[in-house]
Amino acid sequence: MVGAPSGTGGGVREANAAAVLNAVRAHGPLSRGAVARHTSLSMPTVSRQISTLIDLGLLSESPSPQPTGEVGRPTVPVDLNDDVIAACGVHVGVTTTTYGLTTLRGVLLDSVRIPTPPGTPEEVLQRIAREVGGFLGNWPERRIIGVGLAIGGQVDPERGLLDHGPLDWRGVPARAIVEAVTGLPVHLDGHVPAMATAELLFGEAVHTRSALYFYAREMVGVAVAAGGVLHRGPGQSGNIAHLPVGGDVPCPCGRTGCLEAAVAERAVLERAVRAGALHRPDIRALRSAARDGDATADRILTDRARALGTAVALLRDIVNPELVILGGQAFTDAPEHLAVVHDAYRATTVLPGADIVTMSRFGPDVQAMAACAGLLTHLYAHPFSLLPPRI
Ligand SMILES: [Zn+2]
């Protein structure tokens, strides 16, 4: 399992290695002297940790020495080694499962989408894990550090269990099932925290002090980061499914005007089919009908965009972050209706300086990236738990 390192040189040594690794990730390539300045560690400690991290395949020396502007011989800078290690990520969605592989720097090497298989939770996860095993067989030259498993619903990362209402899963030992099939350590995380983590590590939030991440597709979710660290509350993730955004859409909770009922992809498609704008539930068909001038299709997508913009503004005014990042296909696949999202946001927010909303840089790759980023975050925080040093 992925957890606290035992007998692997954890503690202070691992904390120092993590500090060196993260300084290089955020600012590299760096000379050893620059790493010492960024981390406030001594030069001997920095040199020792860099040797260990090079041995583990996490860092490499840059090919050509660069002048440092300092007196003495030029130093050889170190940078992340993008050629050896890779992180696998699996995102299990209600209808679609995505898996992929990224480098240490979060560059997606490949990703595959399959329909989420039917069956019991065990059957579904075993079948996905077998597919992932076959996929990883295509990358014999990479050292795969593990599998990041990202999924909606309520996740218990410590015990590797998950509950997923829309899939009707309760207390499923997801981590153990996928570890048994793949033989790799599995890091389980909720999909919205994992997506926010991807933004913190490699995306728009890398250099901000506080950020609000807002996700929408089949589900809606929100995550908050301050000082480069994702806030994780006790027990379960925050829930914005029933945030009141107005309107007359009935929600399974018995009220009307709840956010998720208004914007979830399946709910939007059901409305479009009922209204006669579509023969079958297909989000691409709905968008192209709206583009072709179908007034009903356009109204349904406009209503969805307005509800999203209103919700983003309500949350922005509560959290007051430096940056708001919008992710998920409800935003990234809907460029025609983004102006409606922004207009509703501006009409609702009451704080000054509204121009802080940006789009996730991962677009339709967000699910695969998120799953990989959950594992990479664990690696950057506890490198020896996934890659024990030899001494
Ligand atoms: Zn509700």
Give residue-wise pLDDT tens across range 299-317. Answer: 999 999 999 999 999 999 9
Q: Which residues pair with 80 in a beta bridge?
A: 59
- How far does residue 254's CA lie from ligand 1's centre (Å)? 6
Burial 20-33 (b: 16+ CB within 10 A, else e): bbbbbbeebbbbbe
Give residue-wise pLDDT tens across range 238-284. Answer: 889 999 998 888 898 999 999 999 999 999 999 999 999 999 999 99
In terms of Cβ atoms closer than 10 Å to its own Cβ (0-12, 13-18, 19+), residue 389 is middle
- How far does residue 39's CA lie from ligand 1's centre (Å)? 47
Q: Strands 161-164 and 78-80, how do they pair?
A: unpaired
- How far does residue 262's CA lie from ligand 1's centre (Å)? 9
pLDDT at position 386 over 50: yes
Percent of the chain with pLDDT over 70: 94
Burial 153-164 (b: 16+ CB within 10 A, else e): bbbbbeebbbbb
Domains 11-80 and 85-197+367-386 belong to one CATH topology: no
pLDDT at position 103 over 60: yes
pLDDT for residue 9: 47
pLDDT at position 5 over 70: no
Counted residue by residue, the chain has a size of 391
pLDDT for residue 206: 75
pLDDT for residue 154: 82
Query: In the structure, what pLDDT confidence band is assigned to residue 363 with cuts at 50, 70 and 90?
Result: confident
Q: What CATH topology corresponds to 11-80?
A: Arc Repressor Mutant, subunit A (1.10.10)
Q: What is the value of pTM for the model shown?
A: 0.80
Q: Which of 65-74, 304-313, 348-357 has the lowest mean pLDDT?
A: 65-74
pLDDT for residue 3: 41
Average pLDDT estimate for 41-68: 88
Query: In the structure, what pLDDT confidence band is assigned to residue 77 with cuts at 50, 70 and 90?
Result: very high
Task: Kindly report the backbone phi and psi dihedral angles of residue 133, in degrees, each rounded to the nearest multiple of 5, phi listed first.
Answer: -60, -45
Give residue-wise pLDDT tens across range 323-336. Answer: 999 999 999 888 99
- How far does residue 125's CA lie from ligand 1's centre (Å)? 29
- How far does residue 241's CA lie from ligand 1's centre (Å)? 7
- How far does residue 98's CA lie from ligand 1's centre (Å)? 28
- How far does residue 240's CA lie from ligand 1's centre (Å)? 9
- How far does residue 141's CA lie from ligand 1's centre (Å)? 49
Percent of the chain with pLDDT over 90: 67
pLDDT for residue 66: 57
Q: pLDDT: is 149 or 198 the higher one? A: 149
- Please spell the DSSP secondary structure of 90-148, one letter per residue: EEE-SSEEEEEEEETT--EEEEEEEEPPPS-HHHHHHHHHHHHHHHHTT-TTSEEEEEE
- How far does residue 250's CA lie from ligand 1's centre (Å)? 8
pLDDT for residue 207: 77
- How far does residue 173's CA lie from ligand 1's centre (Å)? 28
Q: Per the structure block, which two tokens stand in for 285?
A: 């068909």
Query: In the structure, what pLDDT confidence band is assigned to residue 4 with cuts at 50, 70 and 90?
Result: very low
pLDDT for residue 367: 86
- How far does residue 196's CA lie from ligand 1's centre (Å)? 24
| Domain at 85-197+367-386: CATH code | 3.30.420.40
Q: What CATH topology corresponds to 207-359?
A: Nucleotidyltransferase; domain 5 (3.30.420)
Spatial separation of the C-alpha atoms in residues 98 and 85, rounded to whole Å: 20
- How far does residue 83's CA lie from ligand 1's centre (Å)? 47
pLDDT at position 94 over 50: yes
- How far does residue 358's CA lie from ligand 1's centre (Å)? 27
> Across the chain, what does the average pLDDT equal?
89
pLDDT at position 342 over 90: yes
The domains of the chain are located at: 11-80, 85-197+367-386, 207-359
pLDDT at position 7 over 70: no
Average pLDDT estimate for 132-146: 95
3-state helix, strand, coil in the chain (%, to 5): 40, 20, 35
Evaluate the CA torsion angle 137, 141, 147, 148 in order and state its sign. negative
Task: Kindly report the backbone phi and psi dihedral angles of residue 227, in degrees, each rounded to the nearest multiple of 5, phi listed first.
Answer: 60, 30
Q: pLDDT: is 132 or 64 the higher one? A: 132
Give residue-wise pLDDT tens across range 27-42. Answer: 889 999 999 999 999 9
Residue 58: Cβ within 10 Å count? 25
Q: Per the structure block, which two tokens stand in for 238?
A: 């925050």
Residue 6: Cβ within 10 Å count? 8
